[in-house]
Structure 1
Amino acid sequence: MSTAALSPGPGVLAGRYGFAHVLRMEWIKLRSLRSTWWALFTVVAGMIAMGVVTMANTKAPSADKAATFDPTNNVLAGVALGQLVIGVIGVLLVTGEYSSGSMRSTLAAVPRRPLVLAAKAAVFGGVTLVLSEVVAFLTFLVGRAALDPAIEQPSLTDGGVLRAVLMSGAYLGLIAVMAVGIGALVRHTASAIGVLVGLLFVVPAMLAGATGTTVAKFFPTMIAGNSLAVSRPMPEMLTPWAGFALLLVYTAVVYAAGVRVLVRRDA
């Protein structure tokens, strides 16, 4: 994925630009990349398809499991796919500029480097947040229709359901910002994607196999699946709000590290 080198906008003198000009520049870059929109379409289609398939295969719980039965968690299973695609896009938005050399032009047009990364995170994070919230609600509504008629359909008015849907969409928005930070921190596409996949999938899976949920529950994917996307709290897992707060901390730390590297290293 490569991007065109763009100036902040017509009529903007060197050193006289503001955040709005940099936002406009990054929005033009994002809008002009067809691959980004196709990838985001994959997120929409994949999340809806996984929600429908999962709900269609959801069976009525046995009596001993009825208290913990949570079809809302099932219908939001596609978040796992969404985070991977969105994460890769976010990484490429930064590393693609480094690999093509256009980052030098970007930083020449906008010497205030923190503004560059802030604009990238704001544009991609904002687009992702809006899209993810829409698709989370759409997935819920379409997916529950595929549920066996013998099973009571979950409703947005049920306790914890609306919060689970909203938090699932917000989670993908945070992943977008975190991925931009990882891209700035690592810079090399393959390495950055490796870090992303390791953080989201490999490390928590290894920890879950070795120690159960004791440590793995603190990793993003486990938080998303077992703390955020649930209408009924799961035992031994973080509460929804504690999990969301930890995700905010992760995002802030990774993003701040990306800003620091961007400022201190040559393009």
Structure 2
Amino acid sequence: MTATREAGLTFGGVLRSEWVKLRSVRSSGLTVLGASLTMIVAGLVFASTIGTDSDGADGVTDPAGITLSGVLFAQLVVGVLGVLVVSGEYSTGMIRSTLTGVPSRSPVLAGKVVVLVGAVFPVVLASAFIVFFAGQAVMGGAGLPTARIGDAGVLAALVGSAVTMTGVAVIGLALGALLRNTAGAVSALVVLVFLAPGLGGLLLPVSWRDGVLKFLPSSAAEAFTSVAPGPGLLTASSGAAVFAAWVVVPLLVAAVLLRRRDV
């Protein structure tokens, strides 16, 4: 009996369990699809309307960035999915059964992360390439400047955008594990990833803004996903390191609290 029970606690078994739970909830697949469509549709809308302003073609300085504009909106969608991967189990009480079957608990969180990354990253990476090529075709047909996949920084921007979206999904998962409440975790995610730059610009003293805002998740991500980064950002490598810290640190805290707190 003991040997059988221990054999059932392999990490592979935990992964299969988490994958079954994710795919068995219909809204999970629809959410990933929604993020993909949001990214593609928004990018094509920006690509088709960018030349209609007064600047025309002269205002297009980053054709790749224009087609990736939908990443900002799609991040919220995958972030909410990340929250629900954990908070959904707490709301239904299923987490008790999950942690009873895996008493060490940490493999559960690790399994959720692996499954979430595996479900999100390939889809958003494919979506980034689709919207890039489609958007460049739209802009080229309108006589606007375009970018090619081999241009400096373009491939890094495409892969970096997919990494950023996946990272935001993992941040959502960590917040869901920390707060155990869907509304609270989603609110915290929105504030951290989307509202903090604007709020910081309004509330922080002028002397602090440049030194603080560039370390926020969205600004750090912009540093390594932009073909033509704006002024005041970190270097690409520093931005990637800071963004990775925003992903890893909440996960580590969530792992510690998962082991220490009662269900």
Q: Same fold (TM over 0.5)?
A: yes
1:146 to 127, 138, 141: 138
Correspondence 1:253 to 2:249: yes
Could you say what the CA RMSD is over the residues aligned between the two structures, in angstroms? 1.8
SS in 2 for 1:42: helix
Q: What are the Cα deviations for residues 31-56 of structure 1, in whole angstroms up to 9, with x where unaligned? A: 11100111111111111011101111
Looking at structure 2, the residues matched to 213 and 89 of structure 1 have their Cα atoms a distance apart, in angstroms, of 32
Correspondence 1:99 to 2:91: yes
Structure 2 partner of 1:169: 162
Where does the alignment leave 5 or more consecutive residues of structure 2 unmatched? none
Looking at structure 1, the residues matched to 240 and 225 of structure 2 have their Cα atoms a distance apart, in angstroms, of 11
Q: What are the Cα deviations for residues 102-138 of structure 1, in whole angstroms up to 9, with x where unaligned? A: 0000011111200000000010012111111111111
Q: CA deviation at 1:222?
A: 2.7
Greater helix proportion? 2
Correspondence 1:159 to 2:155: no
Q: Which moved more, 1:199-208 or 1:92-101?
A: 199-208
Correspondence 1:41 to 2:33: yes
Structure 2 partner of 1:22: 14
Q: CA deviation at 1:21?
A: 0.6
Correspondence 1:137 to 2:164: no
* TM-score, length of structure 2 as denominator length: 0.90
Q: CA deviation at 1:61?
A: 4.8
Q: CA deviation at 1:243?
A: 1.0
Structure 1 partner of 2:226: 230
Structure 2 partner of 1:190: 183
Looking at structure 1, the residues matched to 201 and 136 of structure 2 have their Cα atoms a distance apart, in angstroms, of 29
SS in 2 for 1:14: helix
Looking at structure 1, the residues matched to 129 and 201 of structure 2 have their Cα atoms a distance apart, in angstroms, of 30
Structure 1 partner of 2:240: 244
Structure 1 partner of 2:217: 220
Q: Which moved more, 1:203-212 or 1:190-199?
A: 203-212
Where does the alignment leave 5 or more consecutive residues of structure 1 unmatched? 1-11
Looking at structure 2, the residues matched to 142 and 208 of structure 1 have their Cα atoms a distance apart, in angstroms, of 35
* TM-score, length of structure 1 as denominator length: 0.89
Q: Which moved more, 1:148-157 or 1:103-112?
A: 148-157
